[in-house]
Structure 1
């Protein structure tokens, strides 16, 4: 049997909805007319669904819903309102439905069906493996994929994806003040508007993550938020790349295929879809990590005398990120020589010499020039 709780500052309205719910076969755990007591009452009673009036004095239903989702209560919210204009605000905080006053039985039944469907879906996910795992891609277009699936999680707004990406890039368990988040994601807005957008975005993220059964959330702390991750809930491509580089992992037959896949994945533009100023330092940082690991793989290929076309594809991918890196140019020159001899090596050198002269106004370095001479003599 579905369990419900009703919050409305008008006692007669609360009692009417109570009776309608009972007639629909729902167990009503309690009715609350004081909005300030609603959150604690919901924590104590743990209903499946909270029927919540929007227009209440001092503390609105929208504010209560934000606190409910921030506290990760396992319940759905259905708003009750006399004004259709609140529908948009209702769905900002991921309410499953809203009802217009006076509440009609057919509308209430529709909401109960939606709640039941959502609860069954979440229960099936839990039964099929308790907590799910996710893979996050920060290189290329931001994506969160569940349990190795190909279809990414859909976000209500692009700001949800951006805020989650920003939090994932912070040191573990770091608390960020709301002012830091305002500056990063809503720098052009005043504090009041940025605060509304931040709370709304956090609520949406937490609702989506809760529906995914991931064990990940944005927890409210004093004047800010921190990212809470359960063990092994998420694998993030950027974090994996960083660990390989900072831990100086050696390449060998055991991990070669994995490193090749990682380098290929991280050759895509970092945080591709976001244009906020906060992204730039991270782009520079992870570009350096990519180049470091890519060069390491390239040297492994050279030492192992790997198939030259395979090695050249990697060299070209690295050159795209750092076109004037002469180590990469020297390695590519040797590979062109292995593939096509003196003529191909000379053509590659001349193309690079023209590029660097036109764009930088200089000539290839002495080492690269000497290498060409040694190869073609």
Structure 2
């Protein structure tokens, strides 16, 4: 059962929400407030799983209150209550799970309860993982290795050590010849010195692995080296690759898994770390992520969840802001479903400025025609 807090400044609506939630056997109210400041004060003490927030409130808006609650508990599930559809997009900017349009109807609460329960189970599973010993390897958006308490960031003695480890990791369970490694990392050195540098760097990697109990082995073979990792290790690149191989499209059955994989992607492979050998892998990961984003958007559109599709596009564009396909799709959705708002013009101007600043070009003709249609 999920513990629920309600914050709604209109007493009649608050009482209606209480009545509807009390009829749901999976939800239990632990606090109701008409004053958002008082609710924020009690929030750390009550420790709810879910908060239902009105957006338009005096003294503090629901969006402001949500931001402060997330600072206290990043896993809190937030459901917004609003009479205005345009607020829905703002709601998702603070990672809202969903929103309910006023007037509140009897099926409004039941509609989102299953999703709240699924997310709660996923968060509980993540908490259990944090309390167990496992190694986390992140390459999407950064390069980060944490040791078996999942808290301590592994420190590498040299940049070359870190880069060679990342290369072996991307090729785990494969034998990489020493000559391949020398050609990639020490091509400028004469042979004997390059071989010695390779041996020293492998030694440093093994030392780091051992000191941090990484459940990883660097095996020497007659041809070269091979990195073997324990199956319990969570490796974001591997998760994304396997998902793309196994799922051609997003369905009702796998949408939660799809969202989980989508959330793992924090940016391009290795983030700001430059490595020439990683360029092809960076393209591969970007293509996988784009395919997943596109499939999620199509799923939400096919199921009449336009707001979710728009949020997914905005999340994608926060990483790849110049992607023409995704920008055009977002503009079309704004034009079709949010004609009464300024979202279309705002995003067009943002896209136009990006193209001009980064590439010195104008938006595609299709985008220009859309914007002319509303002027």
Report the TM-score when normalising by structure 1.
0.55
Who is 1:238 aligned against?
A: 237
2: distance between equivalents of 1:148 and 1:256?
30
Q: Report the CA distance between 1:194 and its aligned residue.
A: 2.4
1:360 offset after TM fit, Å? 5.4
Change (3 A) 1:356 1:140: closer
Q: Which residue of 2 aligns with 1:167?
A: 168
**Superposed CA offset, 1:338-365 (max 9, x none):** 3463643234335535654673545514
Name the stretch that deviates more: 280-289 or 333-342. Answer: 333-342
1:137 aligns with 2:138: yes
Match of 1:181 in 2: 181
**Which residue in 2 is equivalent to 1:318?**
316
2: CA distance, partners of 1:218 / 1:352 = 46
Aligned counterpart, 2:194: 194
Deviation at 1:149, TM superposition (A): 2.0
Aligned-residue Cα RMSD (Å) equals 3.2
> Within 1, Cα distance between the matches of 2:350 and 2:144?
37
Aligned to 1:82: none
Q: Tell me the CA shift for residue 284 of structure 1.
A: 1.6
CA shift, 1:158, in A, is 2.9
Whether the 8 Å CA contact 2:135–2:232 is kept in 1: the answer is yes
CA apart distance, 1:290: 1.3
For residues 284 and 255 of structure 2, what CA distance do their matches in structure 1 show?
24
For the residue of structure 2 that corresponds to 1:289, the secondary structure is helix
For residue 311 of structure 1, report the CA deviation from its aligned partner. 3.9
2:136–2:147 CA contact under 8 A, matched in 1? yes
1:150 aligns to 2:151 (yes or no): yes
* Cα distance between partner residues in 1 of 2:227 and 2:333: 46
Deviation at 1:143, TM superposition (A): 1.7
Alignment partners' CA distance in 2, 1:135 and 1:329: 33
Select between 253-262 and 275-284 the one with higher mean Cα deviation. 253-262
Tell me if the contact between 1:162 and 1:274 (Cα under 8 Å) persists in the aligned partners: no
Supply the distance in 2 between the matched residues of 1:306 and 1:222 (Cα, whole angstroms).
56
Greater CA radius of gyration, 1 or 2?
1
Q: Which runs of 5+ in 2 are unaligned?
A: 1-131
In 2, the alpha carbon distance for the partners of 1:203 and 1:247 equals: 37
Following superposition, the deviation at residue 305 of structure 1 comes to 3.5
Q: How many Å separate the matches in 2 of 1:144 and 1:249?
A: 30
Q: 1:167 and 1:305, CA in 2 relative to 1: closer, same or farther beyond 3 A? A: same
Q: How does 1:155-304 map to 2 (within 5 A)?
A: 155-170=156-171, 172-230=172-230, 232-304=231-303
1:76-95 map, 5 Å: none
Q: Residues of 2 paired with 1:256 and 1:146: CA distance?
A: 31
Residue 345 (str. 1) matches residue 344 (str. 2): yes
Mark the CA change 1:325 to 1:139 in structure 2 (over 3 Å): closer, same or farther: closer
Q: Deviations over 1:94-122 (max 9, x none)?
A: xxxxxxxxxxxxxxxxxxxxxxxxxxxxx
1:353–1:364 CA contact under 8 A, matched in 2: no
Distance 1:190 1:203, change over 3 A: same
Shift of 1:167: 1.0
Take 2:214 and 2:354, find their aligned partners in 1: how far apart are those partners? 49
**SS of residue matched to 2:137:** strand
Show the 5 A alignment for 1:114-129. none
The CA deviation at 1:159 is 2.5
Q: What residue is the counterpart of 2:33 in the other structure?
A: none
Correspondence for 2:77: none
Which TM-score applies when normalising by structure 2?
Answer: 0.55
Question: Using the alignment, how far apart are the partners of 2:309 and 2:150 within structure 1?
Answer: 30
- Distance (whole Å) between structure 2 residues aligned to residue 208 and residue 369 of structure 1: 54
Q: Work out the CA distance in 1 between the residues paired with 2:257 and 2:152.
A: 22
SS of 1:263's equivalent in the other structure is helix
Which sections of structure 1, spanning at least 5 residues, go unmatched?
1-130
How far apart, CA to CA, are the structure 1 residues paired with 2:289 and 2:365? Answer: 24
Shift of the 264–187 alpha-carbon distance from structure 1 to 2, 3 Å rule, reads farther
Q: Match of 1:341, SS?
A: coil
CA contact (8 A) 1:267 1:290 kept: no
Alignment partner, residue 306 of structure 1: 305
